[in-house]
Structure 1
Amino acid sequence: MSGANTTRLANLHDVELAALAAAGDRAAFGELVRRHGSAVRGLLRRMGSAPAEADDVAQDAFLMAFERIREFRGEGAFAAWVKKIAARLYLRRLQRERRLAGLAQEAEDGSVDAHQPDAAGRIDLDEGLKSLGAAERLCVSMCYGAGLSHAETAEALNLPLGTVKSHVKRGLEKLRTRLAPAGAALEGRQGNG
């Protein structure tokens, strides 16, 4: 691919690139992969995937997106569309490996203590997500990372809607506590007493 074509593609909007890809322009789809590949892999890692597995699932998601590119209408962001594909593929992989049944047990057996600060007293979102139980992490990641609704998440996980909402609510509460500055977390608890 020439440098002029690369520059031309880099200046196009995702919707324009998707239209070109639907017409058979592989370079246009390659630009979409370049733009959004790391975000898709990051979502999968936050959902609990190992880095190598995240790479594999992301690759599968982009292959599926390429095969279905004509279905992308540009009504939402391309990144959200491909993240939904990736999240669903990851969930199918979990179900296939029968790890989903162990999520509830793992959450009951205990997760990392959400109130224990790290050595520097700072934490980022990925570390916060690791502190959640597996079911909470999965539900929060799907609803806020992949952009799925609670109902879509419930359908994808084959869980009752209320269960998904509970996991998301508990997960977000733990994240707020975990990510809040030390003084703010204490003030919030004292004010609720």
Structure 2
Amino acid sequence: MPLLDARSDRQLLAAHRAGERGAFDELVRRHGDRLWSVALRVVRDPDDAADVVQEALVAAYRRASSYRGQAEVGTWLHQIVVHKCVDRIRHDRARPGLVGRRHHVLPAPDDPADRAMTRLAVVDALAELPVEQRLAVVLVDVEGYPVAEAARILEVPVGTVKSRCARGRLRLAGLLGHLREGG
């Protein structure tokens, strides 16, 4: 098999379902970084994000036969990650001893101090949003997904994503107003 597989995601998933070794690995290579990025921004802890993505990929691997082709494979994988993130957040809320245990996502070492502080403030502010708003804002504003794609990932209407983003942005503006120059 060539180093870079030219097959589409759907072809790779079909090959995986047919028993081809390595086909699912290629899907993970293509989508893993974005899946982890979404999970990290939602659950806020690198270890939890890694666990969420691993759980999601194991579920996708095992349930590949349940893929109906109504969404792109990448969207389907993101849906599974989003569901696992929500499960993790609900699980953590049910265990009060974990409150305050969350780590901040550390900035790259070459970032100036003020940018690092801004990033930490944004991470904290995102954590204050209700999970539905946080997911919409992370997918659309942080990860850059089009609203229609975010709607498919979240399995809600486009208007719902727009309203969740609008409410989330409004709340973020209030939480981050102190970052404005002169403010």
When normalised by structure 1's length, the TM-score is 0.61
- Give the 5 Å matches for 1:26-105: 26-97=21-92, 99=93
Q: Choose from 141, 146, 154 the match for 1:148.
A: 154
The one-letter code of the counterpart of 1:48 is V
**Can you list the C-alpha shifts for 1:48-78, whole angstroms capped at 9, x where unaligned?**
3311111111011011001111222333222
Are residues 26 and 123 of structure 1, via their aligned partners in 2, closer, same or farther at CA, if it must alter by over 3 Å? Answer: farther
What 5-or-longer segments of structure 1 have no aligned partner? 107-117, 152-160, 187-193
Show structure 1 runs of 4+ deviating over 6 A: none
Q: 2:69 is paired with a residue of what secondary structure? A: coil
CA distance in 1, matches of 2:121, 2:27: 28
- Give me the CA root mean square deviation: 3.9
- Is the 8 Å Cα contact of residues 43 and 88 (structure 2) preserved in structure 1? no
Alignment of 1:153-172 (within 5 A): 168-172=165-169
Q: Secondary structure at the match of 1:132?
A: helix
Q: Please tell me whether Structure 1 or Structure 2 has the larger radius of gyration of its CA atoms.
A: 1
* C-alpha contact (below 8 Å) 1:17/1:29 kept by paired residues: yes
Structure 2: segments with no counterpart, 5+ residues? 101-112, 140-149
After superposition, the Cα gap between the structure-2 partners of 1:6 and 1:50, relative to the gap in structure 1 and judged at 3 Å, is farther
Query: Does the C-alpha gap of structure 1 residues 168 and 21 become closer, same or farther in structure 2, counting only changes over 3 Å?
Result: same
Query: Which residue, out of 116, 127, 132, partners 2:126?
Result: 132
Instruction: Figure out how many residues of one structure are paired with residues of the other and give that number.
Output: 152
- % same residue: 27
* Structure 1 equivalent of residue 9 of structure 2: 14
Distance in 2 between residues matched to 1:60 and 1:77, nearest whole Å: 20
In structure 2, the CA distance between the partners of 1:165 and 1:34, relative to structure 1 (3 Å rule), is: closer
- Per-residue deviation, 1:96: 2.7
